[in-house]
Amino acid sequence: MKNVPMRLLVIEDEVRLLRNLAKALREEGYAVDTSADGEEGLYKAQNNAYDAVVLDVMLPKLDGWQILERLRKTQTTPILMLTARDTPADRVRGLDGGADDYLVKPFDLSELFARLRALIRRAAARPAPKIVLGDVAIDTRARSVAVGGQAVALTATEYAILEYLALQQGKVVSRTELFDHVFDERADSLSNLLDVHVYNIRRKLARPLIATRRGHGYCIEN
């Protein structure tokens, strides 16, 4: 998973576990937002686009069951529930309530990673495993890019930007939309970070694939 910076939200009130999860997931290449209480977690989940949510059951202010119920009224974002309670009744309650998966504490990080990858794959519903733009081929399953049959090494962020624009060919994607899709809340949206990554993509592809629409954003023409 080293080259796909999907955006995750982790809602967990155990501070050490939250910090360790966020660190481990970022090392796996994810962009990670965090919250240590239910109210803040619900607000973030409702006001940001995430590829998956990791949700603890026992939380202050709003518990995981309440968050799950509210989120499922408006969105289908994959939700992985975390709990220290391993009873059939709890598992059934979570799955029947709309959770996509259920993981009991303590757990192995490799299992968490595998479950998240599976959830995101199922939810992605990409229109095609490969996107071809002239002699540029984007393999959305392998998360790889080739130009003229030769592999091009993109960073995690560069790949995410290119794929997002490619999936919306012909549409001008605003800087704000693109920034929110690729980066987590720690990044400064007023910086030139996005411009630098787009410049690097153009340089590596050696193709004028990404067009800039001044005052509007970026696009890949049909």
Q: Tell me: pLDDT of 11 over 80.
A: yes
- 142-158 per-position pLDDT tens digit: 788 999 999 999 998 89
Q: How many degrees, rounded to 5, is the angle at CA 195 between CA 189 and CA 196?
A: 110
- Picking from 98, 92, 91, 49, the residue whose alpha carbon sits closest to that of residue 72 is 98
pLDDT at 1 > cutoff 80: no
Residues 27-64: pLDDT tens digits? 998 999 999 999 999 999 999 889 999 999 999 999 99
pLDDT tier, 222 (very low <50, low <70, confident <90, very high otherwise): low
Element holding 213 (H helix, E strand): strand 210-213
pTM over 0.85: no
177 or 127: which carries more pLDDT confidence? 177
For residue 128, name the pLDDT band (cuts at 50, 70, 90): low
Domains and CATH numbers, the chain: 7-124 (3.40.50.2300), 130-220 (1.10.10.10)
Under a CB-based contact definition with an 8 Å cutoff, are residues 5 and 13 in contact? no
> Residues 213, 172: contact at Cβ < 8 Å?
yes
How many Å is the maximal CA-CA distance in the chain?
A: 56
